[in-house]
Structure 1
Amino acid sequence: MNPTLRSVPLTSDAGTAWSVRAIEGPVPDRNSALLGAPVDATVPGEVHTDLLGAGVIPDPFDGDNESKLAWIGRTSWSYRTVFDWEPDEHAVQELVAEGLDTAATITLNGTELGRTWNQHRSYRFAVTGLLVAERNELVIEFAAPVETANRLSEASGLWPHTNLHPYNAIRKMASNFGWDWGPDVATVGIWRPIRIESWTGVRVDSVRPLAGLDRDRGVLDTRVALAWSEGFGDDATVTVEVGGTTTQMTVSAGTAEVGVTSTIDAVDRWWPRGYGDQSLYDVAVSVAAGARTDSWQGRVGFRTITMNVAPDDDGGPFILSVNDRPVYVRGANWIPDDAFVTRLNRETYERSIRDAIDANMNLLRVWGGGIYESDDFYDVCDELGVLVWQDFLFACAAYSEEEPLHSEVEAEARQAVTRLSQHASLALWNGNNENIWGYVEWGWRAPLGGRTWGEGYYFDLLPGIVAELDPRTPYSAGSPFSYDRYIHPNDERNGTMHIWDVWNQVDYSTYRKYKPRFVSEFGFQGPPAWSTLTSVVHDEPLDPYGEQMLVHQKAFEGNLKLERGLGEHLPKWKDIEDWHWTTQLNQARAVAYGIEHFRSLFPLNTGAIVWQLNDNWPVVSWAAVDGHGVRKPLWHALKRVYADRLLTVQPREDGPVVAAHNDTDVAWSTEVTVARRSTATGGEVLASETFALEVPARSAVLNSLPASVATPGDPATEYVEVRGADGSTAYWYFVEDTALRLEADAYTVKVADSSRGGYDVTVTATALAKDLALFPDRLEASARVDSCLITLNAGESHTFHVTSCGNTPKEPLGVPVLRSVNDLLN
């Protein structure tokens, strides 16, 4: 039998040579040659990375280059290739472009094939009869993205949006135009694969293998969309193979879609991490019509996912359940992992997703100002058991529901749901980020003047598409949302909540004033690692308010908020070294404070999704892992407070309590000792009591802190340690650090080569040593440490292990490489 499809890739890795040149726009004199002399381009790629690779521009992330290179986004660009074509017997030839960013005109051998203006969908252009033997010329001209967005916005009317550019007028990655954590590097390019497909008879256009459960049996409902060449009249046999089961169905010529149901006995279920194994099954779909065949391969996991938002006595919950088991969500928001997304690959995705797993997370929310991620992202989440909350791509703006935007939204949504519906990790489709909240509270109604703003997308179009194409996956209209049109969308008692008065207006102690059912956004800023920051910020002297520092701080009054956010928690810095350590520490403290409070409310609270896991360039931001992949102190704090079992001390009306949340399938039973101790040398135990801690599986308990321990003699020199016999710990302080008396000389340090490679730094406390942190990247940019924010009682030791390619540092090791709260107060 003959394959139906012949695919000829036109990508750089397949040997196709591309070039790019500027065709119109404010190209600086020093780059004026771009208007006449093209440079080599990479496909898939982006114009910024092409220009950078050709040595035409400096690194857009360095210094103030972002503003110096703003002309790129106001310039139109032409990509061109010449390729050979060998004619064949097939009846149909098509140019398939999986991703064009964004407003493009496509021309083959002088004939215009079409125009696009949606980065988030693929396109298929008929080229039958246009291809010639041997030399063919393909030209894709991209209109300047910033000017295109402005033109479309002016033509259709101004719809409210955040940030500088009207990103809501064009279907392009919103954050590519800049965000409060990301650079304004509006780019163009052929950002996903492009190829010529030649075929005859019948072709598999798309496959939606929807895997579910019927008791212990797996049920796979495979929806196969077929395309037929004109005049082809043979019937076709569609075959689906999964889990050792083969199911066939015969369809007549011209059938647009067929559904094939397969049943697998005693299937192994797919579970998120922490609940079971991630069992995945290969799926093979083939179609045969006469002598023609085509095929598709994929992978599924058999599971059910439900969303419970039914009203209860406390308002309305938000509970995600997998295979009928509620999941307490310990998650993070995910932004595109690089401002230039074509530099991402399977390896980079897996590294970043492992950042989430190593911090004990079980869910990533793909935020609506980014992209529908590559298949690599979802494949890794399937394999590692990370649930995916997928936003549709609408964020912080009002959107027109008129043409031509409406048709583009529908087309991209249908493609996205079709492509992603196979993934076991896909837990939720979400209509938008903050747009319902924005309409209610951000002053949009007056400028809109009764015009559409996106409501029809979130409540009609998108849920209808999900119900049609992926009915096994829950849909939420937005985040935040209260699941009732008559309740404020950001009400703490109902559904999902975003908490942004903390950071923007009030102290992080405000977290405890809320009793949220579920928090899908909250966070606090801090700078990246010192090595990351100083690789791009070159102010002399280095200062929080330096010119280049503020280029790498995108939030409104961001560094002022870092300063104000210290409150009474930590002293104001004396120099830039202290600024860096203090603000990183305060970021970690603030977020951990919120999560410990939320978890102490279980089962009222059913999860939290911190903003944010990752950065897309070197910047001061809310991220736990910076733009160079360095795990900030916040990441280490998340690892602790997102642990399967959490011990924390929380205030209640009747006094402090020991709150224990056991998010495992095994009962937690241990003996807990609570001790009031002195901060001074020797760490005298002033009072101590012991009790038995018993926490059933997937449960939480509260135990009152004994009065003898909870009542200090001198609040400034005493603290409470809670220690389980299993090694779990928690601390409680009677005053903020600015009023706490800590010894200046509270620990000794020893450095030694490690048998594991790198070196070990062992710290031994002689008095309370609070929040010890080691920053080996100050000695060698590539060095990494395994732990951070370690508190030691007098007599205790901790060893930091450092992976490093450099030499083991010599003792003594102190500020600024080894930091603690002690050195900030002394």
Structure 2
Amino acid sequence: MKSKLLIVLGGLLVLCSRPLTAQQLYELSDGWKCAPVSSVKESGAVISGTAYALNSWQTAVVPGTVLTTQLLHKQVPDPFYGMNNQLIPDIHNTGRDYYTYWFVKDVEEAYPAAGQQVWLQLRGVNYGCDVYYNSHKLNRVTHKGMFLRQEYNITQWMQKNGHNRLAVIVYPPDETGNANGGQGGDGTIAKNVSHQYVAGWDWIQPIRDRNTGIWDKVFIKKTGGVVVRHPHIITEVPGVRIPTGVQQPAIIKVSAELQNTTAATLTGTLQYVLDGHKISEQVILAPGATKQVQLPRLVLDNPRLWWPNNYGSQPLYTLPLQFVVNGKGVSDADSVSFGIREIQTSWNTTTGSKEIAVNGQKVFIKGGNWIISDAMLRFSPERYDAEVRYHRDMNLNLIRVWGGALTERPEFYNACDKYGMLVMQDFWTSGDCNGKWVDPLKKEDQWTRRKYPDDHPLFIVSAADQIKMIRNHPSLAIWCGGNEITLAEDIHHALKDSLMPMLDGTRWFVDYSNSDSMSYNRLGGNGDGPYGLQDIKTFWGTQTWPFNSEVGSVGVGDYESLQRFIPAANLKAPVYKADGSAIVDSVWDYHKYIGYDSSVEAYGKVMDAADFARKAQLVNYNQYRGLIEGFSSHQWEWYSGVIIWKTQNPWTAMRGQMYDYYLDPNACLFGLRNAGEPLHIMFNPMDSMVMLCNNTFTAQRDVMMVAKLYDKAGKETFITQVFTEAPANRARRYFGVGEALVKAAKKDGAFLSLQLLDKQQQVISDNLYWLPGADGKYTMLQQLPVASLTTQCRRVRAGEVEVTLQNAANGAVAFFNRISLLDASSKQRILPAFYSDNYVSVLPGQQKTITISYTGAISNLAVMVTGWNSKETFNTIANEK
């Protein structure tokens, strides 16, 4: 298998992993035209000639899909709003030709000088395509595969007058799948080497064109006779390190593939300079030869190490790699960004699961499952940055890219590198489509589905290509064969036994997402879940799988979020009956609402949709704070990690999200942020013990734990305060508060305030619990007096606002205040915006300061504060002078 695989991979031309300078590499993103194949009678050779008129063709979105182009021209309604998606023709009913399109781009590029080579690169087409350039077909056979990049040498076809034309006919997936309501529809979408969610899932409606189009970037690249491909940087960090201080050396290993595109033997040097060190290797390339070249290793003194979020900083290096042909200068160059770190894994015999270490230090994994940034593949560096930043702000340290979607783009990994998010990257299978379970909605039986996709060699070469594309990112920590199922046997062994050792032998490859090799599931079941509301005590007291790859809960946004995609007539709160059944509006149901059951009613009778969404945020905050606290309380005892299902939505769904599709955060995000902070004080509802969780590599000494109770009037009852220490990288129990709680909360409930102070009496961790009465209802919250809360706002600098909330003494707790940064003119929220905290409560006589960051030049700013028991305030902010 390995020898055949090497032959296949050796003949595959794919592009480099990092951009070159603007002169050497540029993107073809503007000026595209398109037309449905049904309206075009001419051949590709004719269409790609510059004389062919495109007057009747419409502007196309590239990168994009047929549907994004139709949306641009208002030929279809926004499929993310209301029930609009039902109005768009589904490819299963229309046939593939309906969404088969020509895409054409005129390219102004000077005729190449002697010895210069010009390359066309397509980073992603879904699903098949034929490519023409200046009346010449570039691919001998139709290209197929959503994840297989393409590169063509177009030098000989360039026009001497500099006017060139590229034409690409894009075919939809071979199997479009019947979107019949199943996970992945009828399952046949998985017969392709592509993403599966487009046929529908329990968190999304089907994408009608199945994302047919040139969905990723298109480049022109210029080189000399020798081309540098697939640079690979391996960093080794021996020993156990700490994030600060002088570091012992690290080892840098660099290799690359060189191709001689000429008919002459060429001699030259592959080289780079890093931190003043020049590393090089002399190379002789025979005519037409391709050679893998390993440069001498570099021992780098006092390296700046890369660490996961909350454990250290994330410095990045830039490595400029060149091939210089003797006597002819630089033939090709690539600039690779990387971080110096080493990922290790070992088996924890106590938990019965793998544990992950970085630079010799074990890291307790607090992760989130990621589907895709946008269901219609409208990607941008800015959106990637915002979404990954939100995950950083949740105090998570890992993102798992789910197998029913795609290999994420390099821009996603750039953001993860920047914010310290480790990544677990699945390949493109799921147990739902690929035959793990009996499913009456599937077209074919389990034995047949187990063999999906139809083209196994295509899957293997695509996997090799994607590994090369992203393997230099320090954030990439784990490769995963598939979601909840192993790949077909030959694909699995190709990946495990050939591709990984050959292309990326430094990372852990787990065969599937809930495998016993990741987490020994001695409790039985599938090794993940559950996926709905749970009693908070369950997270603390019921042992689940030791490295749970999927466990989650609700995630409805607030009322402003719901208004963005639900028509006014459908903004009706769910009604829960005594028997547990519910009446749910059709639009809510279409957008995959997941039940809150009686949890919202515990805060009082729901009056309308706005009231429902307001109370739902209390449930959201409690659920996700409880989840992370519960798992963290048993770290290295029961658990080595947990990954939430899920933290974001690429569509306007109403479940499993910490922020909505429009990048507006809800209370889930801040519940996670609170619970996941590096040093955290918390309350165990199982035994009423107060605990400290230290998720750093350094023990914290002489910190003070303070516990107090507050009633509805704001009266304080002191419980205790004590100096203590928090051992590094573990959770520990300290003292009980049960007797005081029973007495205070018995009737209507109470507030429990836990704070951790440093030697300067500054608050390190601040955690306020609202506890129900003996009947499980939060009667106290319904009886809170109005708090005297004042707000002060100021612009700190461009892109940053500071908000200070001050609560008067001798009054009630100012509870659960939602802070929103607004455009003062429209009174609409500015999105995205990044809050140092939100849904904050302020104790009597205390204040809290929140920092808000945003992007863009917005002159008229305002801050709105909406609290549970304080008056809504609208605060304008003075413009910059």
Q: Normalised by the size of structure 1, how large is the TM-score?
A: 0.82
| Aligned mates of 2:57, 2:280 — CA distance in 1 | 52
Pairing partner for 1:521 from 531, 536, 550: 550
Letter in 1 for 2:338: V
Residues 1:748 and 2:807 are matched in the alignment:
no
Provide the residue aligned with 2:197 in structure 1: 175
CA gap of 1:126–1:794, structure 2 versus 1, over 3 A, is: closer
Identity %: 19
Q: CA deviation at 1:510?
A: 3.5
Residues 1:323 and 2:359 are matched in the alignment:
yes
Question: 1:597-634, CA deviations, whole angstroms, 9 ceiling, x for partnerless residues?
Answer: 11111222233222333332333121111111111011
Letter in 1 for 2:457: S
Task: Tell me the SS of whatever aligns to 1:354.
Answer: helix
Q: Is the 8 A contact 2:268 2:325 kept in 1?
A: yes
| Aligned mates of 1:777, 1:240 — CA distance in 2 | 48
Pairing partner for 1:646 from 680, 685, 695: 680
| Aligned mates of 2:557, 2:720 — CA distance in 1 | 41
CA gap of 1:24–1:738, structure 2 versus 1, over 3 A, is: farther
CA gap of 1:592–1:403, structure 2 versus 1, over 3 A, is: closer
Residues 1:538 and 2:563 are matched in the alignment:
no
Letter in 2 for 1:431: G
Question: 1:207-265, CA deviations, whole angstroms, 9 ceiling, x for partnerless residues?
Answer: 11222235632322222112222532223322233232222222332252111132133
Residues 1:279 and 2:293 are matched in the alignment:
no
Residues 1:688 and 2:724 are matched in the alignment:
no
| Aligned mates of 1:64, 1:703 — CA distance in 2 | 53
Provide the residue aligned with 1:203 in structure 2: 227
- 5+ residue gaps, structure 1, are 26-34, 437-452, 820-826
Pairing partner for 2:64 from 27, 45, 49: 45
Q: Is the 8 A contact 1:773 1:818 kept in 2?
A: no
The residue correspondences of 1:249-328 to structure 2 (distance < 5 A) are 249-253=281-285, 254-268=289-303, 269-292=305-328, 293-309=331-347, 312=349, 314-328=350-364
Residues 1:594 and 2:654 are matched in the alignment:
no
More deviation, 327-336/545-554: 545-554
Residues 1:21 and 2:31 are matched in the alignment:
no
Q: Is the 8 A contact 2:818 2:866 kept in 1?
A: no
Q: CA deviation at 1:635?
A: 0.8
Pairing partner for 1:563 from 596, 601, 611: 596
Q: CA deviation at 1:690?
A: 3.7
Task: Tell me the SS of whatever aligns to 1:100.
Answer: coil
| Aligned mates of 1:80, 1:428 — CA distance in 2 | 38
| Aligned mates of 2:784, 2:198 — CA distance in 1 | 49
| Aligned mates of 1:8, 1:717 — CA distance in 2 | 67
Q: Is the 8 A contact 2:754 2:766 kept in 1?
A: yes
| Aligned mates of 1:807, 1:615 — CA distance in 2 | 28
Pairing partner for 1:189 from 213, 217, 222: 213
Q: CA deviation at 1:178?
A: 3.5
Q: Is the 8 A contact 2:177 2:199 kept in 1?
A: no
Q: Is the 8 A contact 1:752 1:808 kept in 2?
A: no
Residues 1:612 and 2:653 are matched in the alignment:
no
Letter in 1 for 2:483: N
| Aligned mates of 1:118, 1:502 — CA distance in 2 | 35
- 5+ residue gaps, structure 2, are 1-19, 40-53, 240-247, 435-448, 576-582, 796-800, 874-881
CA gap of 1:572–1:680, structure 2 versus 1, over 3 A, is: closer
Task: Tell me the SS of whatever aligns to 2:295.
Answer: strand
Q: CA deviation at 1:99?
A: 1.4
Provide the residue aligned with 1:139 in structure 2: 167
Letter in 1 for 2:634: L
Letter in 2 for 1:111: K
The residue correspondences of 1:139-538 to structure 2 (distance < 5 A) are 139-145=167-173, 148-150=175-177, 162-163=184-185, 166-185=188-207, 186-197=210-221, 201-214=225-238, 216-229=248-261, 231-253=263-285, 254-268=289-303, 269-292=305-328, 293-309=331-347, 312=349, 314-345=350-381, 347-396=382-431, 397-398=433-434, 401=451, 405-436=455-486, 454-458=488-492, 460-462=494-496, 464-483=498-517, 490-491=521-522, 497-500=527-530, 502-503=532-533, 507=535, 509-511=537-539, 512-538=541-567
CA gap of 1:368–1:36, structure 2 versus 1, over 3 A, is: farther
Letter in 2 for 1:671: M
Q: Is the 8 A contact 1:287 1:294 kept in 2?
A: yes
More deviation, 808-817/210-219: 808-817
Question: 1:364-397, CA deviations, whole angstroms, 9 ceiling, x for partnerless residues?
Answer: 2222223322222222322332222222232343
| Aligned mates of 1:615, 1:20 — CA distance in 2 | 30
Letter in 1 for 2:335: Q
CA gap of 1:260–1:552, structure 2 versus 1, over 3 A, is: farther
Letter in 2 for 1:618: T
Task: Tell me the SS of whatever aligns to 1:282.
Answer: strand
Pairing partner for 1:106 from 131, 139, 147: 131
Q: CA deviation at 1:645?
A: 1.3
Letter in 2 for 1:78: W
Q: Is the 8 A contact 1:173 1:369 kept in 2?
A: yes
CA gap of 1:466–1:623, structure 2 versus 1, over 3 A, is: same
Q: CA deviation at 1:122?
A: 0.5
Residues 1:738 and 2:777 are matched in the alignment:
yes
CA gap of 1:714–1:418, structure 2 versus 1, over 3 A, is: closer
Q: Is the 8 A contact 1:388 1:426 kept in 2?
A: yes
Letter in 1 for 2:58: V
Task: Tell me the SS of whatever aligns to 1:95.
Answer: strand
Q: CA deviation at 1:661?
A: 0.6
The residue correspondences of 1:802-817 to structure 2 (distance < 5 A) are none
| Aligned mates of 1:174, 1:162 — CA distance in 2 | 6
Pairing partner for 1:125 from 152, 164, 175: 152
| Aligned mates of 2:483, 2:76 — CA distance in 1 | 34
CA gap of 1:808–1:219, structure 2 versus 1, over 3 A, is: closer
Pairing partner for 1:58 from 63, 72, 77: 77
| Aligned mates of 2:601, 2:609 — CA distance in 1 | 20
CA gap of 1:127–1:471, structure 2 versus 1, over 3 A, is: same
Provide the residue aligned with 1:450 in structure 2: none
Question: 1:758-785, CA deviations, whole angstroms, 9 ceiling, x for partnerless residues?
Answer: 8766555734565444567799321566
The residue correspondences of 1:779-798 to structure 2 (distance < 5 A) are 780-782=827-829, 787-792=837-842
Letter in 1 for 2:64: G
| Aligned mates of 1:535, 1:381 — CA distance in 2 | 28
Provide the residue aligned with 2:43 in structure 1: none
| Aligned mates of 1:197, 1:789 — CA distance in 2 | 49
Provide the residue aligned with 1:447 in structure 2: none
CA gap of 1:144–1:460, structure 2 versus 1, over 3 A, is: closer
Pairing partner for 1:115 from 118, 142, 163: 142
Provide the residue aligned with 1:823 in structure 2: none
Q: Is the 8 A contact 2:557 2:660 kept in 1?
A: yes
CA gap of 1:284–1:722, structure 2 versus 1, over 3 A, is: closer
Task: Tell me the SS of whatever aligns to 1:342.
Answer: coil
CA gap of 1:796–1:170, structure 2 versus 1, over 3 A, is: same
CA gap of 1:462–1:409, structure 2 versus 1, over 3 A, is: farther
Q: Is the 8 A contact 1:689 1:709 kept in 2?
A: no
Question: 1:488-541, CA deviations, whole angstroms, 9 ceiling, x for partnerless residues?
Answer: x654699x95222544xx656433312442233222122223223212211415
| Aligned mates of 1:252, 1:138 — CA distance in 2 | 35
Residues 1:576 and 2:593 are matched in the alignment:
no
